[in-house]
Structure 1
């Protein structure tokens, strides 16, 4: 079996009497995206800070790329990149100069630095703005530059803490495409986000953090099946077909005006096959169907008792 790129077991962290992380456990497979969701104060950013060696854990086992964060912090730092909630670019330098500075700090050497900077400017669509002052950059351009600086040394694991906060929809989608491209190339990504649609779009797996503990984890579809409200919506050509289907599918809800029937379901293939099998046996024709499952907003509210995660994370 492939070892996890990120492995956290029984992680604890407190500040005085304030318990921030209380036995956190989760793992991230190489070359995947895991989203860490949770309300304000849940411990998301503290978890990222522990993983990136900025904060020392009180207890527990934490490793990144096979390196223990407490015993081998230099090994962890050599393998990771971190993009925080706020851009870490130098406003007195141009985009190209920011990347060159990072390349020098990473000791890439003159020739390799020049090549890597040129590659990143092209990859992040910053060639035309490379030598312009950062005062001329939009928020999306600054965020792309910030992520490009994180990638100068081609890290195998990247932590993205609220990567699209404050960006307009177009810039958010651009960042999503960049993240997908990195993962396609084999990079492992752990992101925290306030945007549940972002987790749904990007994450292979989601871990929900609340009160310093992981209260649920799984794929987006698995988490959606944890809460009630899923159903199969069937539309029929006429009233007689609707009547026949309603008599077969107990517990369903009728909409006579729309000739539709809502059948409670977890959204799985087995449930759909069962419903269609019953209708086929009774020779009831379905004109159209759609599957509706709870979204991540519903999941988040059910698991944490909160409607959303807007605000500053911790």
Structure 2
């Protein structure tokens, strides 16, 4: 689908500096800073209650930070900063569509509120419906839509006015796998076309699939930031291979410790051997051959690679969804 390009943008789409927000004795956001470049998808990854929604509420100008600042396309954001808000498309967790209106009517209504003129609005509605896979059911009342279709339409409302920064707050919560995949594909396409995306999620696989850079949040603080590969290095970046089998287990363990790339071998009893290695897929064949040569009959092999869940556990001492 062809999409009209966003206006050219130099510098950053968003700069958040030292954001702090307190609610009574609770510090919901504690000194959070980050930048997003045009065409970049930036993820805020953390469990429920980590401060993600509070951060995007400050970014969107829904309420001011207690301290710190937000610039959208180099315009300072505040509750009355219409110049900055004009460049933002905000898609909240809660649905913001009218159930008795069709998808087409919803988009036309919100498009007029966003100041789109009639001819431009008509083409934008068609483009957005196409992008989100809703064109064939554009004239159905949205109360007849599935939860996933409603979520997609909710995103469409935020896209109509060609925002330079699209903010998506947990957009796939509660949707079926097919709709979830459609949403992720649409977001991936937006970033290739120059739209900066701020994406909040507690789903590790979404952050890994979509985001160019990721900030890992816990208890209102950024614990780490970087690309997926940069974050993985925080765990040591090593893989784990579990070998189950019978035979000369102790001899196999001793032999495997001499294989280049194998950092550690533990076990040797009935539970098998556990190896810590630098590049599991590349070493797997030689490890199995070496174990067999040493007298171990391998019956089962499991390769585990580090992921963002591992990073979160390493940084916080708890699982991402605890």
TM-score, scaled relative to structure 2: 0.80
Q: 1:242 Cα shift? A: 8.6
Contact 1:205 1:220 in 2 (8 A): yes
Match of 1:246 in 2: 257
Task: Describe the SS at the equivalent of 1:153.
Answer: coil
Aligned residue number for residue 313 of structure 2:
301
Within-5 A mapping of 1:43-192: 43-70=51-78, 73-192=81-200
Between the aligned partners of 2:321 and 2:153, the Cα distance in structure 1 is: 26
Q: Is the alpha carbon distance of 1:254 and 1:42 closer, same or farther for their aligned partners in structure 2, counting shifts above 3 Å?
A: closer
Cα shift readout 1:238-296 (whole Å, capped 9, x = no counterpart): x9999755335563358899x9983433x59xxx89xx9xxxxxxxxxxxx99853222
- Give the equivalent residue in structure 1 for 2:213: 205
CA distance in 1: counterparts of 2:303 and 2:45, whole angstroms: 25
Map 1:2-13 → 2, pairs under 5 A: 3-13=11-21
User: Structure 2 vs 1, CA of residues 13 and 234 (structure 1 numbering), >3 Å: closer, same or farther?
Assistant: closer
Structure 1 window deviating more from structure 2 (122-131 vs 95-104): it is: 122-131
The CA deviation at 1:210 is: 1.8
Instruction: Show the counterpart of 1:29.
Output: 37
C-alpha spacing 1:180/1:250, structure 2 compared with 1 (3 Å): closer
Tell me if structure 2 keeps the 8 A contact 1:246–1:254. Answer: no
Q: Assess if the C-alpha contact under 8 Å between 1:252 and 1:263 holds in 2.
A: yes
Deviations 1:54-92 (A, max 9, x none): 011111121122111139721221111011112111112
221-230 or 294-303: bigger deviation: 221-230
More strand by share: 2
Give the alignment's TM-score, normalised by structure 1: 0.82
Q: Are the counterparts in 1 of residues 132 and 183 from structure 2 also a CA contact under 8 Å?
A: no
The unaligned stretches of length 5 or more in structure 2 are: 1-9, 287-300
Deviation of 1:15 after TM superposition, in Å, equals 2.1
For residues 241 and 92 of structure 1, do their structure 2 counterparts lie closer, same or farther at Cα, with a shift above 3 Å needed?
same
Name 2:292's counterpart in structure 1: none
Query: Aligned Cα RMSD in Å?
Result: 3.5
**8 Å Cα contact 2:93-2:171 kept in structure 1:** yes
Distance 1:89 1:112 in 2: 21
Q: Distance in 2 between matches of 1:242 and 1:215?
A: 37
